[in-house]
Chain A
Amino acid sequence: MTKTLLLGLDGATFTVLDGFMKEAGEEGVVMPYLAQLVKTGYSAPLKSTAHPLTPPAWTSVSTGRTPGHHGIYDFVRFEDLGKDVYFTLYDSRDIRVETFWQIAGRQGKSVVSLNFPMLAPPPEVNGALVPGFVSWKHLRRNMHPKSLFDRIKAIEGFDAQELSWDFEREGQIGEIMPDAELHDWVEGHLPRDKQWFNIGLALLSEDQPDIFALMLDGVDKIQHQAWHRLDPKYWHPDEADEAAHKVRQVVLRYYRELDTYIERLHKAAGPDVHLVIVSDHGFTGAEKVVRINRYLGELGHLTWAKSDGSEAAKRRDLANFANLDWENTQAFCPTPSSNGVVIRKQSEACPNGVPAAEYAAFRAKLIEDLLALEDPETGERVITAVQTREDAFPGAAMEDAPDLTLTLCDHGFVSVKNLEPAVVTRPVPMGTHHPDGIFVMTGPGVENRRGPAMSIVDTTTIVAHAAGMEIPKDFEGKIPATLYQPAHIAANPVKIGAAAGQNAAVKSDQEASDEQKEEVLAQLRMLGYLED
Chain B
Amino acid sequence: MLQTLDIEHRLKSTLDEFVADWGLDAEITAETWLVEDLGFDSIDVIQFIVAVETAFDKRNVGFQELIMQDGRYVDDLSVGQMATFLEARLPAA
Q: Contacts A137-B21, A141-B51, A167-B43 hold; do A509 and B68 have CB atoms under 8 A apart?
A: no
Mask: chain B, 32-52; 1 = CB below 8 Å from A; 0 = not: 000000000101101101110
Are the C-beta atoms of B64 and A312 separated by less than 8 Å? no
Are the C-beta atoms of A93 and B59 separated by less than 8 Å? yes
Interface: B58 (CB within 8 A): yes
Q: How large is the interface on A (under 10, 10 to 19, 20 to 34, 35 or more residues)?
A: 20 to 34
Q: Name the residue on A nearest B64 (C-beta).
A: A86
Interface residues of B in 39-83 (CB under 8 A from A): 41, 43-44, 46-47, 49-51, 54, 58-60, 64, 67-68, 71-73, 75
Are the C-beta atoms of B46 and A88 separated by less than 8 Å? yes
Residues of B within 8 A of A172 (CB): none
Q: Contacts A137-B21, A509-B59 hold; do A84 and B43 have CB atoms under 8 A apart?
A: no
Q: Name the residue on B nearest A508 (C-beta).
A: B59
Chain A nearest CB: distance from B36 CB in Å?
A: 15
Mask: chain A, 307-327; 1 = CB below 8 Å from B; 0 = not: 000001100100000000010
Residues of A within 8 A of B20 (CB): 140
Chain B nearest CB: distance from A159 CB in Å?
A: 13
Are the C-beta atoms of A84 and B71 separated by less than 8 Å? yes
Q: Name the residue on A nearest B69 (C-beta).
A: A84
Which residue of the partner chain, among B18, B50, B58, B72, contacts A316 with CB atoms under 8 Å? B72
Q: In the docked arrangement, what's the CA distance between A84 and B43, Å?
A: 20
Q: Name the residue on B nearest A88 (C-beta).
A: B46
Q: Name the residue on B nearest A134 (C-beta).
A: B47
Are the C-beta atoms of B71 and A509 separated by less than 8 Å? no
Q: In the docked arrangement, what's the CA distance between A89 and B43, Å?
A: 9
Interface: B17 (CB within 8 A): yes
Interface: A512 (CB within 8 A): yes
Are the C-beta atoms of A79 and B22 separated by less than 8 Å? no
Q: In the docked arrangement, what's the CA distance between A93 and B68, Å?
A: 22
Interface: A138 (CB within 8 A): yes
Q: In the docked arrangement, what's the CA distance between A135 and B18, Å?
A: 12
Are the C-beta atoms of A79 and B47 separated by less than 8 Å? no
Are the C-beta atoms of A121 and B21 separated by less than 8 Å? no
Mask: chain A, 73-109; 1 = CB below 8 Å from B; 0 = not: 0000001010110101101010000000000000000
Q: Name the residue on A nearest B49 (C-beta).
A: A88
Are the C-beta atoms of A513 and B60 separated by less than 8 Å? yes
Are the C-beta atoms of B60 and A141 separated by less than 8 Å? no
Are the C-beta atoms of A141 and B71 separated by less than 8 Å? no
Which residue of the partner chain, among A89, A138, A512, contacts B59 with CB atoms under 8 Å? A512
Residues of B within 8 A of A121 (CB): 50, 54
Interface: A160 (CB within 8 A): yes
A interface, by DSSP: helix, strand, loop or mixed?
A: helix
Interface: A505 (CB within 8 A): yes
Interface residues of A in 463-517 (CB under 8 A from B): 505, 508-509, 512-513
Q: In the docked arrangement, what's the CA distance between A84 and B64, Å?
A: 10
Are the C-beta atoms of A81 and B64 separated by less than 8 Å? yes
Residues of A within 8 A of B47 (CB): 135, 137-138
Q: Name the residue on B nearest A327 (C-beta).
A: B71
Q: In the docked arrangement, what's the CA distance between A352 and B44, Å?
A: 34
Q: Contacts A508-B59, A509-B59 hold; do A86 and B51 have CB atoms under 8 A apart?
A: no
Q: In the docked arrangement, what's the CA distance between A79 and B43, Å?
A: 17
Are the C-beta atoms of A140 and B58 separated by less than 8 Å? no
Q: Contacts A83-B71, A86-B68, A513-B60 hold; do A141 and B43 have CB atoms under 8 A apart?
A: no
Are the C-beta atoms of A312 and B75 separated by less than 8 Å? yes
Chain A nearest CB: distance from B24 CB in Å?
A: 11
Q: In the docked arrangement, what's the CA distance between A88 and B22, Å?
A: 23
Q: Name the residue on B nearest A326 (C-beta).
A: B71
Which residue of the partner chain, among B22, B41, B46, B73, contacts A312 with CB atoms under 8 Å? B73
Are the C-beta atoms of A86 and B54 separated by less than 8 Å? no
Q: Name the residue on A nearest B58 (C-beta).
A: A512
Residues of B within 8 A of A312 (CB): 72-73, 75
Chain A nearest CB: distance from B64 CB in Å?
A: 4
Q: In the docked arrangement, what's the CA distance between A139 and B18, Å?
A: 10
Residues of B within 8 A of A135 (CB): 43-44, 47
Are the C-beta atoms of A86 and B43 separated by less than 8 Å? no
Q: Contacts A140-B21, A312-B73 hold; do A86 and B67 have CB atoms under 8 A apart?
A: yes
Centre residue among B18, B41, B71, B75 by max chain A CB count within 10 A: B71
Interface residues of A in 274-332 (CB under 8 A from B): 305, 312-313, 316, 326
Q: In the docked arrangement, what's the CA distance between A512 and B54, Å?
A: 14
Residues of B within 8 A of A512 (CB): 58-60
Centre residue among A84, A167, A312 by max chain B CB count within 10 A: A84
Q: In the docked arrangement, what's the CA distance between A509 and B54, Å?
A: 12
Residues of A within 8 A of B43 (CB): 89, 135, 167
Chain B nearest CB: distance from A103 CB in Å?
A: 23
Q: Name the residue on B nearest A79 (C-beta).
A: B64
Q: In the docked arrangement, what's the CA distance between A326 and B68, Å?
A: 14
Which residue of the partner chain, among A79, A86, A139, A141, contacts B17 with CB atoms under 8 Å? A141
Q: In the docked arrangement, what's the CA distance between A160 and B22, Å?
A: 11
Chain B nearest CB: distance from A21 CB in Å?
A: 38
Q: Could you jot down 14 A-B contacts, CB within 8 Å? A: A81-B64, A86-B68, A93-B59, A135-B44, A137-B19, A137-B22, A139-B21, A140-B20, A140-B21, A167-B43, A312-B73, A313-B72, A316-B73, A505-B59
Closest 4 CB pairs of A and B: A86-B64, A138-B47, A84-B71, A89-B46
Q: Which residues of chain A have a CB within 8 Å of any CB of chain B?
A: 79, 81, 83-84, 86, 88-89, 91, 93, 120-121, 135-141, 160, 167, 305, 312-313, 316, 326, 505, 508-509, 512-513
